[in-house]
Amino acid sequence: MSILTLHVQRRDYPRWLTDSMARLAGRVGWIVCIDPPPYDNPFPHQKMACRLWVGGDDVEKAYIDRGAAGASAYYERIRPDLDQRRYVECFMGPNEPGVGNADARKRLTEFYVRLAGHYRADGRKLAGPCWSVGWPGGTADQERIPWVECIHRDTREMLPLFEAVDYGCSHNYGKRADAAWTEMDAWTLRFRHVFDALRHAGKRVPPWLITEGGLDIRGDKTTSGWLGPDGPSEAQYADQCVFAAQQVSRFPEVQCYAIFTALPTDWVSFTATESLWRRLEALIMAEAITPPQPATPPALSEAWLAEARKHKVRYNPDAALGPTIAATGQWPMANEWAENGVTYQWGLDVARLMWHLWRWTPTEGVTRAHSEAVTR
């Protein structure tokens, strides 16, 4: 089952889209739609994550600012629309809420806990918190703390939210640098640090939906997407989307990665065109979108290891592999170094007194190359 799918804005669904999703029955499990039609399910072969339009982000923010009371008022407003769409698997909460300070995180948590109670009482499922790319932890630079630490803190402050929702939900783009997909670690895969924070707190990681993905620069509707100035070709973008889906697929909790957006109302530079989707459909049908397999650790000579041990010099969470090493519960303890196109860094498992040598390549991501006991 491929996690790659589409985010769809309008509901005047063309035949190419409905026919494609029918062909992909059993291969694509989800689709993300805004205001799908009442009563009749346009995509019966996929589970649907639905966003109901209530007037925009500012309107939704006004409800969130009222906390639990706002959740009840919001639910009463959308309840007729919910009743007309019983075929929907889950409804997403308000779009891209702010979590830039402790008070905002507190109010959002109160909002979701109350809203989830309303959904459960009516036999419905809720997905949230629908963070925008770069969140949580987006105030790390401002607060002068490591960004992974900031993500963990923000997540801990919202633990009841994650206990309440049926599905976690986030937006995880790649940052477009001309035609390139960058910030795979901090943007596209940022959710994994939320997962780690939940596990460290002894909480379950809910099944997770990435309901907006693809390339972005700064959220400008007409220039920031893949069709903006100096963006990738269609073939390049298809390859980039496949690679992103492969990386995201390494996390079994994630059930979909939805490319933003088909049938846009105004986000024209992000348009997931028919021809782009046909390329992606062909790859899905060929089962080409699979998680990368763990690399076989290289044979490392004792002389090479002796030289590499000299690099274990200091705590360095900001090096290239640092966030991933920290996510395993280890301390990143070295400056990273490269040899033959492979980047290396040491991690220290304090509890077990073990050194772990980690490696990174563009095709394989991060894997463990070597482990050894700490010698005193």
pLDDT tens for residues 144-189?
Answer: 988 889 999 999 999 999 999 999 999 999 999 999 999 888 899 9
Domain boundary (257, 285, 313) is at: 285
Verify that 159 and 237 share a domain, yes or no: yes
Verify that 336 and 208 share a domain, yes or no: no
Q: What is the percentage of the chain residues whose pLDDT exceeds 70?
A: 89
Q: What is the pLDDT of residue 5?
A: 98
pTM of the full structure? 0.80
- Inside any domain, residue 297: no
- Inside any domain, residue 355: yes
pLDDT in tens, 105-146: 999 999 999 999 999 999 999 999 999 999 999 999 999 988
Verify that 106 and 246 share a domain, yes or no: yes
Verify that 309 and 277 share a domain, yes or no: no
- Inside any domain, residue 310: yes
Residue 248 is part of a domain; what is its CATH number?
Answer: 3.20.20.80
Number of folded domains that form the chain:
2
Verify that 170 and 132 share a domain, yes or no: yes
pLDDT in tens, 299-356: 556 665 666 566 554 556 556 677 777 777 777 777 777 787 788 888 887 666 778 8
- Inside any domain, residue 314: yes
- Inside any domain, residue 296: no
Tokens of 82: 């919910």
In whole angstroms, how far apart are CA 20 and each of 182, 282, 290, 303, 325? 29, 10, 20, 56, 40
Verify that 356 and 318 share a domain, yes or no: yes
Verify that 43 and 157 share a domain, yes or no: yes
Please give the residue range of the domain that contains residue 362: 302-373
Nearest to 169 by CA among 219, 96, 116: 96
- Inside any domain, residue 364: yes
Distance between CA atoms of 213 and 303, rounded to whole angstroms? 44
Verify that 187 and 258 share a domain, yes or no: yes
Q: What is the pLDDT of residue 295?
A: 45
Average pLDDT in the chain: 90
Verify that 335 and 264 share a domain, yes or no: no
